[in-house]
A = this chain, B = another copy of it.
Amino acid sequence: MTNFDVVVIGAGLAGLTAAREVRAAGRSVVVLEARDRVAGRNFGGNLADGTPVEMGGQWIGRTQTEVLKLVDELGLKTFPTYADGAAVTLYNGVLTRYADPSFGLSDEGAMEVGRLQQELEALADTVSLSAPWASPSALELDRQTLGEWLRANSAKDEAMAFWGAIVPALFSAEPTEMSLLHFLFYIKSGGMLDNLVSTTGGAQELRVVGGAHRISERLAEELGETVRLNCPVRKISHDDSGVRVGFDGGEVTARRVVVAIPPALAGRLAYEPALPGARDGLTQQMPMGSVIKVQVAYPTPFWRDAGLSGFGFSLDDELSVTMDNSPPDGACGVVVGFFEGAHARSAAGLSPQERRASAVATLVKMFGPEARNPVDYAEQNWMEEEYTRGCYGGRLGAGVWTQYGAALAEPVGRVHWAGAETSDVWNGYMDGAVRSGHRAAAEVLGRLEA
């Protein structure tokens, strides 16, 4: 069968969710996936001893209601991220242990960070989630980078170091690399900063038993032969009568197409007729973040015995954020850590051995000498992934939202756009991906007769 009501490009959460709903509505659908696996930016791996670890997106927060609903519908279970005990922060060579939301900053530093956070969130309150470019102060907020705003609004080293590390932790990009408007949109989209950065009570509260990629795998199991792997799409032709989608080795036709891959990758397909300049221009300047995610394994989660949660935050090191990522039964100890933004790009120039040494050196500073001899190390450099080309997602630099934002999710004829980048709620997160799938499915189902 090569003729469908809907063809979906990309078997990540967005595409699979859209396909599921199209099929539930009694319409025929096919999902074309470039890789030999589903789940996109979710990706299950294993340590050498078989312990499953997540090499991509993994956490879910309680306000991420759409992905939680999906998890439940699919019969999957969640469990709380380990977060008992104290966190640690490294700054100027000093390790601070703390059990409050201070991020280990000095009183003065925490006060300055809090002041800036209040100001930023007051600005974020003015941003429209459905049309950021039409917010009352859009031009003013968009012409500045976040870095520019921070430099203009604080001269305190510790606070600036905090923002210089927390922003890459959220975006895998530097404050200079996004507009203030993008930052404000994004934090509002996820319910403001505390929600984004917190484990318990925030976006990192829950994990999925078996790994977050199981969500996509279950969806794909439901969809069966609807999902075709190893089909990198190269071309989309569309006209009044339908769409024709060419991939390596074949072609399908449909009434409508849902492109459920990041804008940076969507721009690389050939379109006939060519896309409007505004849409094409957007895809030229919505780069993906830069991140290398590492898993460092130990015989036991030894930090727990010392009353530590495993949450580490370094304002000094290339590996800037760590969390306890041990399996639910704590049978072994796993720390997950991130090289993000500029750190990821410099760490990409190291050998895996050097990156491991860099990561372990930071863990020793955070968790003591027991961290010195991991039993295993695994890493995932998302910048090298041909069919993702960076995580966590696409961002917009100064000026882009107001010049190109309207093209982000607006269909072009029979071509519809999905993916976490297109969601107004929890943009960039798994929940946003699911929401975008709902929205795209509703779009195509509402127009199939057209």
**Residue ranges of A at the interface with B (Cβ–Cβ < 8 Å):** 142-145, 147-148, 174, 176-177, 232, 234, 264, 267-268, 270, 274, 276-278, 280-281, 284-288, 290, 342, 345, 348, 381, 383-384, 386, 389-390, 397-400, 403-404
A277: chain B residues within 8 A (beta carbon): 290, 348, 381, 383-384, 389-390
A144: chain B residues within 8 A (beta carbon): 148, 176
A284 touches B264 (CB 8 A): yes
Check A284/B288 contact, CB under 8 A, given A148-B144, A398-B145, A398-B147: yes
A276 touches B389 (CB 8 A): no
Give Cα A232 to B287, complex, Å. 24
Closest to A248 in B: B270
Closest to A288 in B: B284
Q: Tell me whether chain A's interface is mostly helix, strand or loop, or mixed.
A: mixed
Give Cα A12 to B400, complex, Å. 29
Give Cα A148 to B151, complex, Å. 11
Give Cα A394 to B384, complex, Å. 23
A145: chain B residues within 8 A (beta carbon): 145, 148, 398
What are 7 A-to-B residue pairs whose CB atoms are below 8 Å?
A: A176-B398, A176-B399, A264-B284, A267-B268, A277-B389, A281-B383, A397-B398
Give Cα A378 to B68, complex, Å. 56
Check A177/B399 contact, CB under 8 A, given A264-B284, A280-B383, A281-B287: yes
Check A284/B287 contact, CB under 8 A, given A174-B399, A267-B268: yes
Scoring A143, A174, A276 by chain B CB atoms within 10 A of each residue's CB, the highest score goes to: A143
B176 touches A143 (CB 8 A): yes
Closest-CB distance, A249 to chain B (whole angstroms): 13
Give Cα A264 to B281, complex, Å. 10
A174: chain B residues within 8 A (beta carbon): 399
Closest-CB distance, A262 to chain B (whole angstroms): 10
Give Cα A270 to B270, complex, Å. 11
Q: Which 7 A-B pairs have the closest CB atoms?
A: A277-B383, A284-B287, A274-B386, A285-B287, A268-B268, A176-B399, A397-B397
Closest-CB distance, A155 to chain B (whole angstroms): 14
Closest to A384 in B: B277
Check A390/B147 contact, CB under 8 A, given A345-B278, A398-B177: no
Give Cα A290 to B145, complex, Å. 21
A281 touches B274 (CB 8 A): no
Closest to A396 in B: B397
Closest to A275 in B: B386
Closest-CB distance, A70 to chain B (whole angstroms): 30
Give Cα A397 to B276, complex, Å. 23
